Amino acid sequence: WAGRRMLSMTGYGTAVEETDGIIVAVEVRTVNHRFLDPHIRLPREYQGLENDVQKVVRAAVRRGRVDMTISIQTVRPQEISLSLPVAREYVEAAARLQQDLGFTDPIDLKTLLNLPGVLHAEETPPPGLAKPPEEATAPVLRCVGAALREVAGMRGREGMTLASEMLRYLNG
């Protein structure tokens, strides 16, 4: 073992990146396996990125089963619409209450905006793919690399613990 670092076969890592209107999330789990056995799950529209992801995995992991899930989502801005007729009805109803019942408090804007039907937030419809696959390649590969670095760190820490336990057992 002299000069060699012991690695655990189990590891876990995640990474998330939000960039240019998309969110990329990667989750990686590794377990013992005789050979390198990568299993990569990508959204169907992005299956073309699998070979690039495989190259990154093969460069980072020598052996073991690697389960990787990659999700790519569009960040959709919300469109807010105001219903002026509904707001007018609330203001008129408040004015009638003030007049008929003698209330002196005026209705304030904050209260008015929180009343049902005055404001409505809608997600804009998705434009299809979050990004064309070729534009998503860089953020996906950055996230894959970051998640694999987490896995390597975990495998290294567990390996050091295993090595010290083995040495303690052998020496003790």
Q: What is the pLDDT of residue 45?
A: 86
pLDDT score of 3 more than 60? no
CB 36 within 8 A of CB 67: no
Find the mean pLDDT for residues 145-162.
Answer: 88
Global pTM?
Answer: 0.65
Residue 21 CB burial class (10 angstroms; 0-12, 13-18, ≥19): middle
Q: What is the pLDDT of residue 131?
A: 59
pLDDT score of 70 more than 60? yes
- Give the residue among 123, 108, 11, 103 at the shortest CA–CA distance from 57: 11
CA 23 to CA 131: how far, in whole Å?
10
Per-chain mean pLDDT for the chain: 85
Residues 107-151: tens digit of each pLDDT = 888 888 888 988 887 655 455 555 566 778 899 999 999 999 999
* β-sheet bridge partners, residue 121: 80
pLDDT score of 72 more than 70? yes
Tell me which of 67 and 1 has the higher pLDDT: 67
Counting every residue written for the chain, the total comes to 172
Q: What is the pLDDT of residue 19?
A: 85
CB 64 within 8 A of CB 39: no
Q: What is the pLDDT of residue 159?
A: 79
